Amino acid sequence: MFYVGIDIAKRKHEAVVTDDKGDIVVKAFSFTNDLTGYNYLLGKIKLVTISREQIVIGMESTSHYWLTLYTRLIKDGYNVHIFNPIQSDALRGMYIRQSKTDARDSFIIAEVIRFGKYSESNVPQEKLFALRELTRNRYFMVDSVSDLKRKTTALIDQVFPEYEKLFSNNFGVSSMALLLKYPTPEKLKNVSLQSLAKLLSKASNGYFGLGKAKEVKETAKSTFGVIDNCGIYATLISTYIKQILFIQDQVKEIDSQIAEIMSELDSKITTINGIGHALGAVIISEIGDISRFQNSDKLAAYAGVDPTVKQSGDYCAVRNHMSKRGSPYLRRAIWQASVIAVGCDPMFKAYYDKKAAEGKRYMNIIGHCTRKMISVIFAVLRDDKEYIPMAA
């Protein structure tokens, strides 16, 4: 067997080929991250053997730069292993010279593969990467919608301050349909009562009708808001509403793709109360290989929900906050899952009530629940078993 260790970088990768004894048979060489570089890599490999069965390739999951090379090698029938850089650190530490060079790193990666001292996630790496890209960009879109809603609300407050009393949610389906077509009081004053009632009835599936239309028109007539003489408020509000609706549609498409991948993976993470496909996708894609965490404390530290320690001399702080040092995406998803679990899971509900009885405030309690959620997630992923709710 021959082992190819590849040290991944953005534009150029470094590789070395060793044999069963760990002897270098092809000295370290660099190749570009493109088709020319890929063919150069294959040419070097074929210097020692043309049999794909005799080649084992290893590389670290460095950012996203490994993905194109990995997928091409898999497509061409090579045996490729991806592992977290943490798993090569132990072997790297065995070397007396601690200087970090690409040539040394590619050799160490080859040695990790030769010794078999690594573990891979049972989830295909390309699936994890796809989920990570989808979920991170989903968060970006969701946050963009929230920002657009804040801007829209600020504009409505100026031109139509009474509007918030007309609907329980300014961004519900009926309200959005109304704002899209008649974004200001001036626009509402000029529309006929019948047209307004028809729009509201269609948007609300018959829930609103002539009565709501009359209320909206009367409120618009007596508004104390800024007069939109130049039409700028109407333009901005309708533009923002269009953007919100567009992004929301895009989020639905992303949710559909996430659900499809999660169904293929059949992860046990979604058996935990409070974790559906969207949050589950964030959690498993950000965690990656659960075996790289020795215990739930290590996972908590990675998520940044471990407490900070403030100590000086004989003083040690007793009210510590989350360190927030780890993955912000993972921390956010687990926090959201904990909030949901408190309302639907008997164990988390009992735990919440216990902390509330101790006089702790809401945010502090959810912080405790988040740490408990970490333990549940760790156990489910480690054992690959479904979560069974239990009383606290």
Alpha helices in the chain (DSSP H): 35-45, 67-75, 86-92, 102-115, 125-159, 173-181, 185-190, 193-203, 210-221, 232-265, 277-287, 296-303, 328-344, 346-357, 362-383
Least confident of 55-64, 115-124, 244-253: 115-124
The answer on 64 and 20 residing in a single domain is yes
Nearest CA-CA partner of 102 in 60, 41, 57: 60
Res 292 pLDDT > 70: yes
Q: Amino acid identity of 66? A: W
Q: What b/e string do you get for 189-224 counting C-beta neighbours within 10 Å, with b at 16 or more?
A: eebeeeebbebbbebbeeebeeebbeebbebbeebe
Express each pLDDT in 167-188 by its tens digit: 999 999 999 999 999 999 999 9
Domain annotation covers residue 14:
yes
The answer on 213 and 279 residing in a single domain is no
Who's near 309: CB < 8 A, 6+ residues apart?
A: 316, 317, 320
Lookup: tokens for 223:
């508004």
Inter-axis angle of helices 125-159 and 277-287, to 10 degrees? 130
pLDDT band at 66 (very low <50, low <70, confident <90, very high): confident
Domain that holds residue 177: 130-255
pLDDT band at 128 (very low <50, low <70, confident <90, very high): confident
CATH of the domain at 159: 1.10.287.4070
pTM of the model: 0.74
The answer on 109 and 71 residing in a single domain is yes
Domain annotation covers residue 390:
no
Express each pLDDT in 316-339 by its tens digit: 444 455 555 668 999 999 999 999
pLDDT of residue 317: 46
- Domain total of the chain: 3
The answer on 99 and 80 residing in a single domain is yes
pLDDT of residue 170: 94
pLDDT of residue 84: 66
| Cα 246 to the center of its chain, rounded Å | 21
Domain annotation covers residue 389:
no
Residue 22 backbone class (left: φ over 0; alpha: ψ -120 to 50; beta: rest)? left
